[in-house]
Amino acid sequence: MRACIAVVIGVFATCATAEQVTPVQKVLQMLDDMLVKGKSEKENEATAFAAYETFVKDTSWDKSTAISTGNDKIDQLNADIQKASADVMQLSKDIAGLDSDVATWTQDHTDATRVRDTEHADFQATHADYTDAIGAVDRALKTLNASPGTALLQARESLSKMTELTLVPVHARKAIMAFLQSGPNNALLQDAEALMNNQPQASVKNYEGSSSGVIQMVEGLGAKFDDERSELEKKEANNRHAYDMLSQDLTSQIANGKDERESKTARKAGREQDHAAAEGDLADTTATLKEDEKFLADLTAESEQKTSDFGQRQETRAGEIEALGKAIEIMSSDSIGGGSQHLPSLVQKKVSLAQLRVNNNSPLQGSVANFLRSHAERSHSRILSFVATKVRDDPFGKVTKMIRDMITKLTEEANEEAEHKGFCDAEMSTNKATRDAKTEESDTLKAEIDQLTADIAKLAQDIADLSDAIASLDGAVSEASSLRAAEKTKNTATIADAKAATAATTRALAVLKAFYAKAAEATALTQVHANTPYTGSSASGGVVSMLEVIQSDFERLDSETASSEAQAASSHAQFTADSAEDREQKSTDLKHKENTKTQKESSLASASKNLGQVREELNAAYDYYEKLKPSCVDAGVSYAERVAWREEEIESLKEALKMLSGEGM
């Protein structure tokens, strides 16, 4: 038996010599390394957790601020959407009202034009009748005033034709017919025959006595027709002027209504675009807000869980350090082999991000000349002064024709000036409307450009913030992946070393247990011959127990490291999925804002181009206004004053004509 024990001891000694350390020394070395590693990792974990708490605090503040800002932005976007909807509805009503007004004005203009055309056709027909009547009167007077020898038969023919005129009053027509059918008329015919038989004196006397009354009546008709034709012409000029004013006003209203409709249609389209953009921003902001809220909730839950885990791990590490100290005290001195340098590292890093426009001169002519001269001095009329000179110096027949021509000319000038006045009123009104419309359009475009510039600047800032957030998120994912890879490598090595250490400890225990079992058996066989049997070292039981504890610790290290690795892998996968979802949302938001920015930049370029065109049109309207001013803007004498002066000149000339004809004496 002693030989056997010696052999076992020799074998053990031989193994110790070959490995240069004993299993106990290896266990002690491992215990010492585990103690140092445990204290270091406990301190490192506390430092890492303090950094993690700072990260959670900063990130939570960033997310809370982003959530508050997101809620404020959602409220503002909802208000913007409601305002845009209200503006679109009001603009739609305004456009419908303008369409109705333009249709009404267009129909009024059509009706007024139809009435004017009817009035003008009636005027032309009536004016032609008066002209024919005046011509007939002139011819009748010429035949009646001519030499009796040549006019008796012609007078009958002319007077007969006058009875056919519709404008000759019934009583005058009857008088002429009675003159032509009466006995004196037959006497006139006999006188005509006597005249032809060289008996003129009796004939002339009979003729003049019979025809004087008819001549006076015909002259009266001629003057009446002339006056009525003048009144007709004046009325026509007034009607034409009134129509021109109405037409100009309606045309201006229609043009202004169409311009305003186009402006409101453009504003409506702009507000509809603003509505759509605000809805898009609202959807993006809402989605981002939900992501931020989810992220904050996840971060808070994770922080609470990690805080709890940290406390438990720190408590466990403290207990482990204490146990290791005691074990070292028990085992004394040197440490055991590989694997003890790896203790469970429960330090986990999970990095998250913050988001983010007549004959000889006579006394009568002198009287008429004085009359005209006095009127000329009173009204400062050069025309009346000129005519007065002509009446005094020229033959009577020429004077009468000149005055008639002058009256006609003044009437034509009055009509032309009325037409010009209508043209000026229309053009000045249209020009003013154009200037006002273009000024308003320019102001609207300026406001639109200012708004678009502000929107583009804000979108640019949002795009920069989102780009930074995506880059930061990518960086965080990359860092987390790098940390995760390192952690996995470390855990894999720890598990392998723990398994190896467990196997080594198991072998050592097997050796010791086998030895002590054999030693106990040998002692039982020989105890009859020995007073105190030898059962091995007295510390063998403690060493075996400690080795069993160490074996259990290595097994626990293996199990806890594997569990920690699985939990870290799951947390990293969740973080990666959340980050990918967050990045996809931010990328979508970024793309939407970039598209919106591109659209608004295009709108800005279009608005700037339109503003340039509107300014050119406005300048052209002002240039045209300056061209209209010399002929259309009153320069000291108004249109009404000129009309009054011209009417006074015409009346004075008519009065002079009456005086020359003997009516006014």
Closest CA to 66 of 591, 582, 587, 580: 582
Termini Cα distance of the chain: 187
Check if the beta carbon of residue 347 is closer than 8 Å to that of residue 48.
Answer: yes
Please state the length of the chain: 665
Both tokens assigned to 507 = 């072998």
389 within a domain of the structure (yes/no): yes
379 within a domain of the structure (yes/no): yes
Q: What is the DSSP letter of 534?
A: -
Higher pLDDT pick, 197 / 492 = 492
- For residue range 570-600, list pLDDT tens digits in order: 999 998 899 998 889 989 998 998 999 899 8
Strand partners, 396: 359
21 within a domain of the structure (yes/no): no
229 within a domain of the structure (yes/no): no
Higher pLDDT pick, 12 / 131 = 131
How far is the C-alpha of 398 from the C-alpha of 396, rounded, in Å? 5
pLDDT exceeds cutoff 80 at 119 = yes
516 within a domain of the structure (yes/no): no
Note the pTM of the prediction, 2 decimals.
Answer: 0.43
Say what the pLDDT of residue 117 is.
94
pLDDT exceeds cutoff 50 at 18 = no
Categorize the per-residue pLDDT at 339 as very low, low, confident or very high, splitting at 50, 70 and 90.
very low
Sign of the CA dihedral 46, 52, 55, 56? negative
Closest CA to 306 of 88, 53, 73: 53
651 within a domain of the structure (yes/no): yes
656 within a domain of the structure (yes/no): yes
Higher pLDDT pick, 204 / 653 = 653
Say what the pLDDT of residue 15 is.
41
Percentage of residues in the chain with pLDDT exceeding 70? 72
Q: Which domain holds residue 648?
A: 360-393+634-665
Closest CA to 141 of 238, 207, 214: 214
Give the count of beta carbons closer than 10 Å to the beta carbon of residue 531.
5
pLDDT exceeds cutoff 90 at 508 = no
Which of 16-30, 152-166, 180-194, 333-347 has the least mean pLDDT? 333-347
Categorize the per-residue pLDDT at 31 as very low, low, confident or very high, splitting at 50, 70 and 90.
low
How far is the C-alpha of 653 from the C-alpha of 232, rounded, in Å? 18
pLDDT exceeds cutoff 80 at 116 = yes
370 within a domain of the structure (yes/no): yes
How many CA atoms, within 13 angstroms, populate the side-chain half-sphere of residue 16?
13
Radius of gyration of the CA atoms of the chain, in A:
62
Quick one: angle between helices 363-379 and 396-526, nearest 10? 20
Check if the beta carbon of residue 547 is closer than 8 Å to that of residue 505.
Answer: yes
Domains in the chain: how many in total?
Answer: 1
What type of residue is 468?
D
Q: What is the DSSP letter of 196?
A: H
At residue 374's C-alpha, the angle toward residues 369 and 378, to 5°, is 145
Check if the beta carbon of residue 408 is closer than 8 Å to that of residue 227.
Answer: no
Categorize the per-residue pLDDT at 256 as very low, low, confident or very high, splitting at 50, 70 and 90.
very high
pLDDT averaged over every residue in the chain: 76
